Structure formats: C-alpha cells, structure tokens
C-alpha cells in the first residue's frame, strides 16, 4: 500500500476524495437550482416591463398611423431593446458587483437564451397587427394578449415569491391596463 505525506494510505484518500466530490456535486446541484430560480425570477420580472412597453408602444403608434408594418415594427423594436436590456443588463451588473469583468461562455449563452425567449414572448401581443385587417380589432386583441401574458407571469412570479397568485396577477394586469391607457391617451393627445 502506498502512503502519502502524513502517512495516510492513498486508497483512503481517494475514497475520501470521492465522498467530498459527491457532496460538492450535491451542493452544486442545489446551488444550480437556486441560481436557476433566481434567473427565472429575473426573466419574469423583466417580462413585465417588456410586455407593457411593447404592446403599449404599438397601441400608441396605432393611434398615429394605420400602417400595420409601422405599428408592428415599432412594437418589435421596443420589444428587442427591452429584451436585450433585461437579458444582458444583469450580466453586466453581476460583474460590476463582484469586481470581475470576465464573462463565461455559460453566462453569455444564458443571456442569449433569455433574449430570444423574452423577444418571442414580447412579440406575441403584436401578432394581431400582422394578421388582422381591422385596426380596432387588432388593438383589442393585442392589448388582451398582453394582459393575459401579464396575468400568467404574475401567477408564476407570485408562486416563486410565495405570494397570493391571483392577487398579484390581478395587480400586474391592472398595471398593464393603466400602461395601455397612458400610451393610448398620450398618442391621442398629439393627434389634436
């Protein structure tokens, strides 16, 4: 039997090392789940503002023009900018807090995945402007789709925060209604 420094058999060290590796893997998997939950919270929190901004801008622009492509592209541009800020902003903030400027490939991939997912979700309320000929109906469908998304993500956010799901979902929906009304009235004011 071979011995290392301090007269401990190598086979015993390897056994102990495996136990330490197993417990470290368990800690890492628990940490990964907690980290994933934090990231999900961040994505959902970012979605609230992105959804309201995207369908709000499209609604406001729809008051100013009847060109469906202009309305759609306006909403998508705001959605892309908001999605990008919500996806990559926390990455920059994280590195500023820990004093490091090194980004891992995993950080970049997670931020990119978040960007794509957020942009797809934010684009859902805008599809009605592409599919509907009647602008009034497209507005209603867009706002309703946005409010349904706010409600759904409000329920999920409340579950993560151990809050009342329906209560929080209704609050987010009301904030969406207020946001839509402000965007509509703001654009309507400039027509006069």
Q: Which residue has the tokens 């990231």?
A: 39
**Predicted confidence (pLDDT) at residue 169 exceeds the cutoff of 60:** yes
What share of the chain has pLDDT > 90, as a percent?
48
Residue 4 region, left (φ>0) first, then alpha (ψ -120 to 50), else beta?
beta
Q: Tell me what the mean pLDDT of segment 159-183 comes to.
A: 93
**Predicted confidence (pLDDT) at residue 28 exceeds the cutoff of 60:** no
**Predicted confidence (pLDDT) at residue 166 exceeds the cutoff of 90:** yes
The tokens of 83 are what?
A: 């999605």
Which whole-number Å values give the CA distances from 170 to 80, 166, 173, in the listed order? 26, 6, 5
For residues 133 and 97, give the distance between their C-alpha atoms in angstroms, rounded to a whole number. 49
**Predicted confidence (pLDDT) at residue 136 exceeds the cutoff of 50:** yes
Note whether 117 and 43 are within 8 A (CB): yes
**Predicted confidence (pLDDT) at residue 168 exceeds the cutoff of 70:** yes
Cα 61 to the chain's mean position, in Å?
Answer: 24
> Residue 111: pLDDT band by 50, 70, 90 thresholds?
confident
For residues 167 and 175, give the distance between their C-alpha atoms in angstroms, rounded to a whole number. 13
For residues 95 and 107, give the distance between their C-alpha atoms in angstroms, rounded to a whole number. 11
> Residue 178: pLDDT band by 50, 70, 90 thresholds?
very high
For residues 122 and 57, give the distance between their C-alpha atoms in angstroms, rounded to a whole number. 12
pTM score = 0.74
Query: What is the chain's mean pLDDT, rounded?
Result: 81
What secondary structure does DSSP assign to 125-153, as a single string? GGHHHHH-S-HHHHHHHHHHHHHHHHHHH
**Predicted confidence (pLDDT) at residue 39 exceeds the cutoff of 80:** no
Structural domain boundaries in the chain: 46-191
For residues 160 and 169, give the distance between their C-alpha atoms in angstroms, rounded to a whole number. 13
Cβ contacts of 175-179, under 8 Å, gap ≥ 24: 175/48, 175/52, 175/150, 176/51, 176/52, 176/146, 176/147, 176/150, 177/147, 179/52, 179/53, 179/56
For residues 45 and 139, give the distance between their C-alpha atoms in angstroms, rounded to a whole number. 24
Q: Tell me what the mean pLDDT of segment 175-180 comes to.
A: 95
Predicted pLDDT at 100 = 58
Instruction: Measure the N-to-C terminal CA separation of the chain; round to a whole number of Å.
Output: 92
**Predicted confidence (pLDDT) at residue 99 exceeds the cutoff of 90:** no
């Amino acid at each position: 039997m071979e011995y290392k420094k301090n007269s401990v058999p190598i086979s015993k060290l390897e056994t102990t090392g495996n136990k330490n590796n197993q417990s470290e893997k368990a800690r890492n998997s628990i940490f990964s789940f907690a980290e994933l939950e934090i990231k999900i919270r961040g994505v959902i929190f970012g979605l609230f503002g992105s959804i309201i901004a995207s369908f709000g801008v499209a609604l406001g622009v729809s008051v100013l023009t009847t060109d469906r492509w202009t309305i759609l592209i306006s909403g998508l541009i705001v959605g892309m900018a908001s999605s990008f800020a919500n996806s990559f902003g926390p990455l920059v903030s994280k590195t500023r807090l820990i004093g490091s400027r090194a980004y891992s490939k995993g950080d970049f991939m997670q931020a990119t995945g978040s960007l794509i997912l957020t942009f797809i979700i934010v684009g859902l309320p805008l599809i009605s402007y592409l599919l509907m000929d009647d602008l009034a109906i497209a507005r209603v469908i867009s706002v309703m789709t946005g409010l349904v998304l706010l409600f759904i993500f409000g329920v999920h956010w409340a579950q993560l925060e151990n809050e009342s799901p329906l209560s929080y979902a209704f609050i987010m929906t009301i904030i969406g209604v207020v946001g839509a009304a402000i965007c509509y009235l703001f654009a309507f004011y400039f027509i006069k």
